[in-house]
Amino acid sequence: MPLPDFDSDDPPAANGTRLPAEVPVTSLASPVTAETTNGSSAPGLSTSPARLAVGGMIAGRYRLLGQVGADASVHAVFWQARDIVLARDVGLTLLRESSEPGQTDQAAEMINMALRWGRFEHLGCARLLDVMQRGRGGVPDDVLGVAVTEWVEGRSLADTVAAGPPATGRALRMLDPLARCADAAHAQGLVLGCAHPQRIRITPEGQARLAFALPPPSTTPVDDVRGLGALLYTLLTGRWPLSGTDAELAGLPAAPRDVQDVAVPPGIVRPGVSLEASALAVGALGSCPAPEQVHTATAVHQAIEDLLDAEDEVALLPPPNDGGTAFPDEVWRAPGSEPEDEPERKRKVSIGMACLGAGLLIAAVYVLIQVGSVLGVLPSSTPAIVVDGAPGGTAQGAAPPPAGPGEAGPGGEAVAHPASVRVFDPTGDPDNPGRVARAVDGDPNSSWSTYQYRNPFPVLKPGVGIMVSFATPVQLARLTIVSPSSGSRIEIRSAPTPDAAFTQTIPITDTTMVGGRAVVSLSGSQPVQNVLIWITKLSPANITEISELRFERATG
């Protein structure tokens, strides 16, 4: 059932978007049916408005801001709400009562499944904050259960592909965090329930994230794999290949089907999609011969990583034109594929180039002054840099040499393992993103590196870095950086979120790589959840390689 249009006179929500004064929530209390796109019907749907409305309160704490979706299979509705206690937006999944037999038992099973999520955290899904059953104070009588999750900023899947599906490489990068999340969840005996388009949102950084909890109790890991295939299919074609009812509720067109009622492969729906990406989507959906099917989230994640690695190998060449819609931060674009805000982007690029030209001019004047000073034409005005009474050496604040392999740190600190890692690049052109996990895999023989640049920073870009995120804030004692790129200058900064702008990051300390290893003390820092390893100066070869990042938490 499509949501009503927003009216310009309606009050704005907390995030600045306008919401209707009242949203008629789909009632599931009577067995009236709703027409689907393929002529079938979904039992239990009714268009009569229920008591839930914008401005209403759940459990005396969560003020409803607007309905953003529904899952007819379990009589669930998805809402954006405001937690008035902690002053933050949250996502609510509400299980509505219906006349279907056994629904109370089903809701109880879903609540019990949700309680197992208490300790699971991953950047591919919103964190579960609270679970409530009917009977708790402030829960409406016709609501059997409520799950509260972090609110996922961004857009719905339908809005993401509304102007056209993204390029194949970008679609794969969007799906990768969710595939990693499904892999981690399945390893712990959990399921996501990602085979529904309105349970997924795309963050402003272009990452698919599970936004709403309480999947159907019959959900299995195989269903999650099919969901990953369906999401990739939709990102490649703009069409949903599973339930027609779900497609209609999400505002997505249904995928075309052949005479055997099988979704037509993405490469046929949208000529130009790579054969490998199309085969991955079809294989995960399970609509192909058994030898070609993809059965696990691990296999989906590994296939995505392999495809992105192959793309990184030719990153300096224009990718094939697959007809995808260009985004403002993309370097390569086919003629005629510019986004709607291209004039504004070009204006910003022009300003940036002007600033770059001014910076180069200042640098040239500085070099002329230094040359003149050396030749005796001009007096020297720059004193020699002395550290600890001797010229040269390591930057002030660098830690002493680290303990050797197998030796305990001076404070007996324990290793803090990251929950996720990604390349951080404000210019939108990340260096070797498919290999960044090698920097935290515990193997010093594998590594990530920047691209090799013709000119040092900041000629082409101000820097590039690695954003490391932990599941929860952690008090760090020290960081060990293993890198063969002597002379590289590295800043350690904290960030409020993994996708924060560089201006939002806060410097903690810095170091210069010498001798292949640097130990940086972080004992004076506050607990952090996101740490940016920011490279501001490359090695003399104009490339910086990082073999390992090892974080140690304070135990005292």
Average pLDDT of the residues in 378-399: 35
Structure letter (DSSP) for residue 257: B
Pair (411, 548) in one structural domain = yes
* Inside any domain, residue 224: yes
Pair (445, 515) in one structural domain = yes
* Inside any domain, residue 16: no
* Inside any domain, residue 8: no
Q: Which residue's entry shows tokens 């829960």?
A: 139
How many residues are listed for the chain in this entry?
556
Pair (287, 406) in one structural domain = no
Pair (140, 159) in one structural domain = no
Number of domains the chain is built from: 4
pLDDT at residue 17, as a whole number: 38
Pair (360, 305) in one structural domain = no
Average pLDDT of the residues in 252-256: 95
Pair (499, 527) in one structural domain = yes
Pair (53, 173) in one structural domain = no
Tell me the residue range of the domain where 487 lies.
397-553
Instruction: Quote the pTM value.
Output: 0.54
Pair (548, 406) in one structural domain = yes
Which of 123, 150, 177 is a domain's end point? 150
* Inside any domain, residue 388: no
* Inside any domain, residue 19: no
**H or E stretch covering 185:** helix 168-187
* Inside any domain, residue 43: yes
> CB of 275 within 8 A of CB of 319?
no
Please compute Rg for the chain using Cα positions.
26
Residue 290: CATH number of its domain: 1.10.510.10
| pLDDT above 50 (res 24) | no
Residue 139: CATH number of its domain: 3.30.200.20
pLDDT at residue 478, as a whole number: 92
pLDDT digits (tens, 9 = 90+) for 211-250: 999 999 999 999 999 999 999 999 999 999 999 999 998 9
> CB of 54 within 8 A of CB of 81?
no
Which of 313, 329, 363 is a domain's end point? 313
User: In the numeric block, which tokens belong to residue 140?
Assistant: 């409406």
pLDDT digits (tens, 9 = 90+) for 440-479: 988 889 999 999 888 888 877 889 999 999 888 889 999 9
pLDDT digits (tens, 9 = 90+) for 474-525: 899 999 999 999 999 999 999 999 888 998 999 999 999 998 999 999 988 8
How far is 142 from 134, CA to CA, in rounded Å? 8
Pair (418, 510) in one structural domain = yes
Pair (165, 86) in one structural domain = no
User: In the numeric block, which tokens belong to residue 2?
Assistant: 């499509």
How far is 403 from 529, CA to CA, in rounded Å? 25
Measured torsion, CA atoms of residues 243, 244, 249, 253, in degrees rounded to the nearest 10? 120
* Inside any domain, residue 519: yes
User: In the numeric block, which tokens belong to residue 269?
Assistant: 């729906």
Pair (127, 246) in one structural domain = no
* Inside any domain, residue 18: no
pLDDT at residue 100, as a whole number: 84
Pair (84, 230) in one structural domain = no
Which of 150, 174, 191 is a domain's end point? 150
How far is 48 from 26, CA to CA, in rounded Å? 7
| pLDDT above 50 (res 183) | yes
Q: Is the peptide bond before 458 cis (omega within 30 degrees of 0)?
A: yes
* Beta-ladder partners of 259: none
**Phi and psi dihedrals of 130, rounded to 5?**
-160, 150
Mean pLDDT of the chain: 78
Residue 404: CATH number of its domain: 2.60.120.260
